């Protein structure tokens, strides 16, 4: 199998034998980069799903040279412990990997209804897939998000659990106005068939935020969004991501992404750009008050500074600042 979702090819490395592509209900896409051991844990959690739905997994290896994740996963597919495909996306980057997996799903499995996304640092609860699909069907939602519950490398760091960087955006199941992350996501097939390609804008490839932009564009097109609180995935958070400089960089990045996504959303509007700038300046001006309010409520300086960094990131984006945290994955 060869296809070209970006500027370079996607190649098939492994597939489970006797795979009946035309009876697949759901496709789970799983991008991976230099986390072979955790990838196996993620695949194990998918193999243990409690559901009668016929689903397959597409592992998208984004390290085209060493391919450690793909090599670790391939035997599971050969033994049919997990059904699906292992592909290599030769073009580096977060968005390139997602695009390769989503396009492969459309090409390889003509009858699936739901595409789900999980990352290679996450573990799905046993009822994850069933809960996501059932919520989409019950609420007649086109796209469903779910919580990414942090599991910290140091058990003494539970104080970070309520930090805005790690806190899920919603608490209850139901329709929502916006979604922001693809780390725990369901997208209906008809959405993918209608959205322009590449699905995720490659300008966000090493920054992140391509998923937020995709979800914003889908909402603009009128697709219904929902949240499923009963479908958590547990995300392993390494100690590196609890350091002050990483949290500060992620907070600034979130502000940058917010501006870039809103600029695209208002690109066709009269005075759209000045409105985005005005909002950014207003948020930055108000951020000290929000900082003080958060400090009194939580006692956490790190949490309190979040709105300041987001506001600053929004304004810096107007001058071309971009924090590409995925450019050096070993430091992310």
Range of the domain at 51: 2-240
Same domain, 91 and 127: yes
Q: HSE-up of 208 (CA within 13 Å, CB side)?
A: 20
Q: Ranked by mean pLDDT, which of 135-149, 201-215, 318-332 comes out on top?
A: 135-149
Same domain, 36 and 142: yes
Q: Which of 314, 312, 304, 297 is nearest to 257 (CA)?
A: 314
Which one of 240, 258, 282 terminates a domain? 240
Which one of 240, 269, 303 terminates a domain? 240
Q: Are 77 and 16 in contact (CB under 8 A)?
A: yes
Q: How confident is the model at residue 156 (pLDDT cuts 50, 70, 90)?
A: low
- Strand-pairing partners, residue 175, are 226
Q: Stretch 102-113: mean pLDDT, rounded?
A: 96
Same domain, 208 and 255: no
> For the chain, first and last CA: distance in Å?
32
Same domain, 171 and 267: no
Q: How confident is the model at residue 332 (pLDDT cuts 50, 70, 90)?
A: low
Same domain, 221 and 254: no
Task: Specify the pLDDT at position 6.
Answer: 40
Same domain, 65 and 107: yes
Q: Is the pLDDT of residue 46 over 80?
A: yes
Which one of 191, 214, 240 terminates a domain? 240
Backbone dihedral angles phi then psi of residue 131, each to the nearest 5 degrees: -65, -40
Q: Stretch 186-214: mean pLDDT, rounded?
A: 93
Same domain, 165 and 250: no
Backbone dihedral angles phi then psi of residue 267, each to the nearest 5 degrees: -60, -35
Task: Specify the pLDDT at position 47.
Answer: 97
Q: Is the pLDDT of residue 158 over 70?
A: no
* Mean residue pLDDT across the chain: 90
Max Cα distance, the chain (Å):
61
In 3-state terms, what secondary structure has residue 226?
Answer: strand
Same domain, 236 and 248: no
Same domain, 225 and 252: no
């Amino acid at each position: 199998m060869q296809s070209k979702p970006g500027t370079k090819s996607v190649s098939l490395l492994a597939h489970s034998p006797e795979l009946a592509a035309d009876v697949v209900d759901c496709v789970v896409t799983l991008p991976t980069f230099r986390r072979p051991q955790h990838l196996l844990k993620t695949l194990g959690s998918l193999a243990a799903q409690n559901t009668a739905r016929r689903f397959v997994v597409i592992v998208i290896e984004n390290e085209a040279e060493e391919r450690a994740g793909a090599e670790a996963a391939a035997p599971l597919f050969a033994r049919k412990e997990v059904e699906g495909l292992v592909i290599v996306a030769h073009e580096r980057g977060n968005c390139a990997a997602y695009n390769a997996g989503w396009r492969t799903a459309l090409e390889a499995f003509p009858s699936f209804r739901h595409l789900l996304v999980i990352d290679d640092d996450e573990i799905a609860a046993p009822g994850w897939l069933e809960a996501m699909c059932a919520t989409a069907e019950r609420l007649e939602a086109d796209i469903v998000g779910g919580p990414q519950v942090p599991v910290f490398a140091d058990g003494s760091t539970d104080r970070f659990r309520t930090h805005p960087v790690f806190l899920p955006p919603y608490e209850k199941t139901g329709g929502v106005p916006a979604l922001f992350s693809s780390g725990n996501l369901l997208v209906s097939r008809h959405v993918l068939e209608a959205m322009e390609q590449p699905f995720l804008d490659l300008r966000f490839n090493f920054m992140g935020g391509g998923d937020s932009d995709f979800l914003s564009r889908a909402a603009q097109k009128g697709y219904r969004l929902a949240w499923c609180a009963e479908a958590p995935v547990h995300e392993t958070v390494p100690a590196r991501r609890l350091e002050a400089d990483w949290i500060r960089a992620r907070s600034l990045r979130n502000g940058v992404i917010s501006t870039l996504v809103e600029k695209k959303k208002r690109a066709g509007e009269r005075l759209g750009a000045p409105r985005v700038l005005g909002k950014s300046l207003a948020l930055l001006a108000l951020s000290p008050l929000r900082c003080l309010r958060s400090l009194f409520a939580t006692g956490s300086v790190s949490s309190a500074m979040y709105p300041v960094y987001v506001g600053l990131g929004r304004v810096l984006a107007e001058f071309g600042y971009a924090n590409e945290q995925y450019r050096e994955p070993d430091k992310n």
